[in-house]
Amino acid sequence: MKNVVSEWAESHFPLYTIGSIHSLYSTSNQPMHKIHESLAVILAIAGGKGTFRINDQSYELAEGSVILLPAQSHAALIGNLSQPLHTYMLSISSQEQASPLSSGAMVQRSEIASRSSVLFFSHKPQIVADVEELYIHRLPANEARHVQNQITFYQIMLRLLEQQDAKYAASEQPYMERSITYLENHYGEKITREQLAAMAGISQSHYSILFRQLTGFTPNGYLSRLRVHRAKELLMSGSGTLREIAQKVGYKDEFYLSRRFKQQTGVSPSDYSGGSLQRIAVLLAPYASHLLLLGLVPSVIISESSEYLNTMDLPPTQSMMFINANGSAEQVRSVLLDHDIELIIAANEHMHQFGLPLGHLRGAAPIVEVPWMKMGWKDHLRLIAQAIQRSERAEEWLAVFEKEEQAARAIVQQSGVANETFTILVIKPEELLVYGARNVGYVMYQSLGLQPPAKIGQELEKLGDEFHSVPIERSELVDYAGSRIFVIVFPDTKGSTAHAERIFLSSDWRELPAVRQNHVKLLDKDEWVPYNPVSIQLQLGRAVALFSGNQ
């Protein structure tokens, strides 16, 4: 068996540092400043007027304008001769924390320093004032001024992050969102710009402008993107012939689909392969562990926290990006587009839980839906492996794991617990649960073959991997208590477990045979609740140590 270790790894945010700061003036002799910095750059317009150009985009500048420019960008500042442009240019970078990190820890990429697209704010005078203060005191006379400079610099970074989030929230215009949602849900039908503009209640020309501002695409370009992404999903699942797929996504025949598909991807539908995908996003950390186990590092994890599941045998990666799952759908989609994601792996119930519409995410990349509750972790692994054409690797790992299960079952059965019954009780602040076939229940009941109480056994036979838990009242403890009880306590938001003490001090609890005979074992939720291949394998090792007296 493998060593009993934790699979949880920490993710830390980087420290921001100043690269350089300059003051740029446009003059009649030098009306233009070309910009090509190796670091990300903040351009703060302190006075005058002008134009900022990058690639095929241009922005009108005035006093108070602020631009965040990605590293390695080629751009130009062009001043107005009658109102010369005065710009402060602050280059920024990020670095790892100086203090040593725990084993397996990862430093996240900076949301600001690692952007790949321009962020423009037309009027943010406070940011401009802060940058100007940094320039004036760029050579601090004493340490107190040096510390003040650091505070001012972090105020700038905080304002940028806050404005970035506010920009996503402000972009959600109900009349436009309604038409875009319709497009995302009816891409298989014939849809015209005239129809969408009428739905939004504005002219066609104005609709096209607003649509591009919100999505980054023209209406027709976005429609084509949705159709091709859906076609990719159907190709990966092997759902029908090319003609059938074409008609499902809204194209009249396979030839028209092939033409659009190749325009967007560079390959024909028949040559498209999930095995070549590298930039994959997952919704919630468990699916990240599946990818890591299959030898592919997810580029983006949409999660409630910045913890991730490390496969231990792989070095910690610095390439993963975390997005807060509770952020707006537009913010999530924008980050996915920014990272050029090729595939999203998610469960429909999780998309619904976090308010992330399937159609909206499909605008960023095709989606492989891996149902969370409708199948067990082994089928999760197989489905993900099939999508990225690594099924052989998945089956090899599962074969090794099944041998570990057999060895663990033999050890545990020899420990003299074969004739006992085991209850897995979970105490949460708001409810009392008895666990079934998932989480620790999988290891105890399926891997080790331990016997559950009769009522749980009936549900296991009926529902299999879909049986997560059953909520009970405290008075029902006697009906579900086995001869031994494992207890997992979830603390409340403040870290208190007082709700568990109310259970333990009750007569319903104290009168249970397992309690009277001291056959109760408290288990740590972080070690026994996660449900994914890496965690299950480690839980198996913990269980063997538990029953063999090594824990």
Q: DSSP 3-state assignment of 442?
A: helix
Domain that holds residue 488: 405-547
CA distances from 359 to 170, 181, 201, 329, 438 (A): 20, 7, 22, 11, 30
Direct distance between the N- and C-terminal alpha carbons of the chain, in angstroms, rounded to an integer: 14
Burial class (CB in 10 A: 0-12, 13-18, 19+), 451: middle
User: What torsion, rounded to 10 degrees, do the Cα atoms 101, 105, 110, 114 define?
Assistant: 120
Looking at the structure, do residues 381 and 455 belong to the same domain, yes or no? no
Give every CB contact of residue 24 below 8 A, 6+ residues apart in sequence: 33, 77, 85, 86, 87, 88, 89
Structure tokens at 128: 């401009």
Among candidate residues 168, 185, 204, the one where a domain is terminated: 168
Rounded to an integer, what distance in angstroms lies between the CA atom of residue 166 and that of residue 109? 21
What SS3 state is found at 382? Answer: helix
> What does the DSSP assignment read for 458-487?
HHHHHHGGG--EEEE-GGGHHHH--SEEEE
Predicted TM-score of the model (pTM) = 0.78
Which of these, 477, 464, 466, 465, lies nearest to 433 by C-alpha position? 477
Total domains in the chain come to 4
Q: 2 in a domain, yes or no? A: no
User: Can you give the pLDDT of all 551 residues of the chain as single tens digits?
Assistant: 444 455 666 667 778 889 999 999 998 888 999 999 899 999 999 999 999 999 878 899 999 999 999 889 999 999 988 899 999 999 998 776 555 555 555 566 667 777 777 888 989 999 999 999 999 999 999 999 999 999 999 999 999 888 876 665 545 467 888 899 999 999 999 999 999 999 988 999 989 988 887 888 899 999 999 999 999 999 988 878 899 999 999 998 899 999 999 998 888 898 887 778 889 999 988 898 899 899 998 999 998 876 666 655 555 555 678 888 888 888 898 889 888 999 999 999 999 999 999 999 999 999 999 999 999 999 999 999 999 999 999 999 999 999 999 999 999 988 878 889 999 999 999 999 999 999 999 999 999 999 999 999 999 999 999 999 999 999 999 999 999 999 999 999 888 999 999 999 999 999 999 999 999 999 999 899 999 998 999 999 999 999 886 55
Residue 78 belongs to a domain: yes
* Residues 446 and 543 both lie in one domain: yes
Q: Residue 494's CB: how many other CB atoms inside 10 A?
A: 7
258 and 231, same domain (yes or no): yes
CATH number of the domain to which 506 belongs: 3.40.50.1980
